[in-house]
């Protein structure tokens, strides 16, 4: 698992111009918050090594990095759920990657 996390972190890191101060998981009703992001960089989950893919209709499946009111933020647009058949390790994988990013 640690090697998979490291691979994902190494892929994502070059896209980040600075360390995010906040990570936001966009859930029901929060999707519009991504419209507030300035200097937006979008990374599709399908391009991130070892990252689970969304299966729920309407879950976009991307990381969004940028700034809100001048503060660097990383957003997760599209979540993974245990009830979709993912293991708890897969459901929590993004959080482990975010921890690896610092």
- List pLDDT tens digits, range 13-59: 999 999 999 999 998 788 888 888 999 999 999 999 999 888 766 55
Q: Report H helices in the chain.
A: 2-12, 88-101
Dihedral pair phi/psi, residue 92, rounded to 5° = -90, -5
pTM as predicted: 0.87
Domain that holds residue 73: 2-101
Among residues 49, 58, 52, 50, the alpha carbon closest in space to that of 82 is found at: 52
What pLDDT does residue 78 have?
A: 85
Contacts of 3 (CB under 8 A, 6+ apart): none
- Can you tell me the distance from the alpha carbon of 8 to that of 2, in angstroms, rounded to the nearest whole number? 10
What pLDDT does residue 57 have?
A: 66
Domain CATH number, residue 62: 3.40.50.1580
What pLDDT does residue 49 have?
A: 97
What pLDDT does residue 95 have?
A: 93
- In the chain, at which residue ranges do the beta strands (DSSP E only) sit? 22-26, 38-44, 62-68, 71-77
What pLDDT does residue 59 have?
A: 59
Using 50, 70 and 90 to split pLDDT, how confident is the model at 83?
confident
- % of the chain surpassing 70 pLDDT: 96
Q: Residue 66's beta-bridge partner residues? A: 73
The count of structural domains within the chain is 1
């Amino acid at each position: 698992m640690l090697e998979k996390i490291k691979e994902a972190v190494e892929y994502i890191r070059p896209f980040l111009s600075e360390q995010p101060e906040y990570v936001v998981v966009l859930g029901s009703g929060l999707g519009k918050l991504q419209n507030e992001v300035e200097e937006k960089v979008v990374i599709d989950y399908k391009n991130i090594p070892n990252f689970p893919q969304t299966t729920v209709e309407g879950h976009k499946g991307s990381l969004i990095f940028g700034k809100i009111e001048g503060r660097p933020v990383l957003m997760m647009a599209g979540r993974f759920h245990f009830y979709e058949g993912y293991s708890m390790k897969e459901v929590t994988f993004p959080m482990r990657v975010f921890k690896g990013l610092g």
